[in-house]
Amino acid sequence: MADHKTVMAQAVREAYERGQEDETLLPLVLTGPGSRPLGRIRDGDAVIFYNIRGEREIELTRSLVEKGFPFFPVRAFDRLSFATMIEYAPQLPVQVAFPPEGEVEMTLSEVISRRGLRQLKVTEAEKAVHVGYFLNGKRQEPFAGEERVIVPTRKDVTLFDAAPEMSIAGIVAAVRERISDGGVSFILVNFPNVDVVGHIENETAVRRAVEAVDRAAGEVLEAALRAGMTTVITADHGTVEKWLYPEGTVDTGHTDSPVPFLLVSPGGGESLRPEGTLTDVAPTILDLLGIEKPPAMTGRSLLTSRVPRDGGAPRRVLMMILDGWGYRAERDGNLIAASHTPVMDRLWASRPRSLLAAAGEAVGLPPGTVGNSEAGHLHIGAGRVIYSDRVRIDRAIEDGSFYENRAFRGVMGEAKGQGGALHLMGIVSFFSSHGSLHHLFALLDLARREGVGEVYIHAMLGRRGELPASGARYVEQVERYCLEKGVGRVASVIGRYWSMDREDNWDRIEKTYRMLVYGEGTPVPDGFSSANVAQWR
């Protein structure tokens, strides 16, 4: 018999039995007498969106706080207090608990721009924020002389295991079209396929994605060599080179593996240090371009020797980021090694190469944690270690300043003053790059200390780097923590596919919005007695 105190976790397990999984889990809503949804967001309430990273959190936040929101019908809230863990976008009318510490200055793109050189960045919409915002040191606007070509991401498939090639042909075409423009000194191209498809438990599709990237890299490299460009090939983090957990279940998350760094120049002759970190990429690119790195870049060029250009002609450089392409010597459970990759195999055997640390402290993350696209691109562009928001927040919890945070205490106080409830929404995971249960638990502790009467949790699930059925286990941990501390209830659960979008898929966001505000979803009867239910809205 299911524990009546962990009914939402049991509801998630029952959804698994119906064929659902964490990432695309359809909304589950806690209900009271008469199947009335409990814990809906109402005017006079307060919301804390405790996710970090931010780019996948903007759309849902907009739907709840933006006046005149245009993408689907919303309820007008006049007295909804809203705080976000970090800044998702500067124009959002919310309080920010951990505001940005400022743009990272003198990044790779800025240094190239200051030299008066033109640069081009090409990817598809799925990774636009990475080659723009993150690679430019968390700066939204392009620098002078910087052009971005963003190929549309396909919207005719639900998940990309149905189309592992994604829009890679469009990326290749865009790069090849511009590569002959001698006025462009630096070209960056990102192929998203391995990372995006690697988060889906479909081995055949992953291998197709790996092979598509290998072919595309070969086509772009051939065009670059014909144009006399030096080419660098690297990645931001690993994924599918560690496809299996030790016990044999599939791991669809990021990894702590190093990533390859390859150098291909028309004349050859260069050599590289055998090891480095992602912070060494920007200094190496500048070295190849003949530009002195700024003092702020603490990374070191990987070049140990180089061949001067004939006649002193300025060198042009193309960098390919094979998103999610990690390196692992072992072949067991290694889908990159299991795929047909003649281009990368040939280059690895014949060209200068290095292995770069792309996880943990090397990219400003807690020790032992896996890498991610945001930290990866940020460090590729910055050329120095930038401590992550997760580290800042974890340190604040440790030193106690988290519990004095003005944004958190402010919205909690407003909810109390207006007789409203507090809603905590975000990812439930210990491993997601979007957030941590440690942060949720700290917010619950603060809500109890502040005497907030009604606290509801709206959980988002996603199996990226998680064991199967991890969502139900996390939800149960949250429910038991609430019981132990005497604060909060899990009022709704949904897959992150519907709540954490960044491609203007407003139909997905609307599903989450209607769950939060109207209680639409599969009803989950509350296991408490009707006498106790009266305290929950």
Rounded Cα distance between 390 and 52, Å, is: 7
Report pLDDT for 531.
35
For the chain, the average pLDDT equals: 93
Task: Identify the band that residue 435 occupies on the pLDDT scale cut at 50, 70 and 90.
Answer: confident
Q: Tokens 């970190």 identify what position?
A: 277
Rounded Cα distance between 107 and 294, Å, is: 9
pLDDT (tens digit, 9 = 90+) per residue, 44-81? 999 999 999 888 999 999 999 999 999 999 999 999 99
pLDDT (tens digit, 9 = 90+) per residue, 493-526? 999 999 999 889 999 999 999 999 999 999 999 9
Rounded Cα distance between 155 and 141, Å, is: 26
Report pLDDT for 307.
61
With vertex at residue 199, the alpha carbon angle to CA 197 and CA 203, rounded to the nearest 5 degrees, is: 65
Task: Identify the band that residue 263 occupies on the pLDDT scale cut at 50, 70 and 90.
Answer: very high
Stretch 453-470: mean pLDDT: 84
Q: Among 13-17, 99-103, 190-194, 365-369, which is the least confidently predicted range?
A: 99-103
pLDDT (tens digit, 9 = 90+) per residue, 128-161? 999 999 999 989 899 999 999 999 999 898 889 9
What is the pTM (predicted TM-score) of this model? 0.76
Q: Nearest-CA neighbor of 343 among 419, 260, 430?
A: 260
Domains and CATH numbers, the chain: 4-99+391-533 (3.40.1450), 108-385 (3.40.720.10)
Rounded Cα distance between 130 and 376, Å, is: 9
Report pLDDT for 381.
98
Task: Identify the band that residue 528 occupies on the pLDDT scale cut at 50, 70 and 90.
Answer: low
Q: Nearest-CA neighbor of 375 among 138, 62, 75?
A: 138
Task: Identify the band that residue 533 occupies on the pLDDT scale cut at 50, 70 and 90.
Answer: very low
Task: Identify the band that residue 529 occupies on the pLDDT scale cut at 50, 70 and 90.
Answer: very low
Rounded Cα distance between 193 and 206, Å, is: 8
The 3-state secondary structure of 258-292 reads CEEEEEECCCCCCEECCEEEHHHHHHHHHHHHCCC
Report pLDDT for 128.
95
Q: Is the predicted pLDDT of residue 3 greater than 70, yes or no? A: no
Report pLDDT for 537.
43
Q: Kindly calculate the radius of gyration of the chain based on its CA atoms and give it in whole angstroms.
A: 24
Phi, psi angles (nearest 5°) of residue 395: -65, -35
Report pLDDT for 430.
76
Rounded Cα distance between 513 and 75, Å, is: 10
Rounded Cα distance between 493 and 15, Å, is: 11
Phi, psi angles (nearest 5°) of residue 3: -70, 120
159 exposure class (CB count in 10 Å sphere: 0-12, 13-18, 19+): middle
Report pLDDT for 313.
61
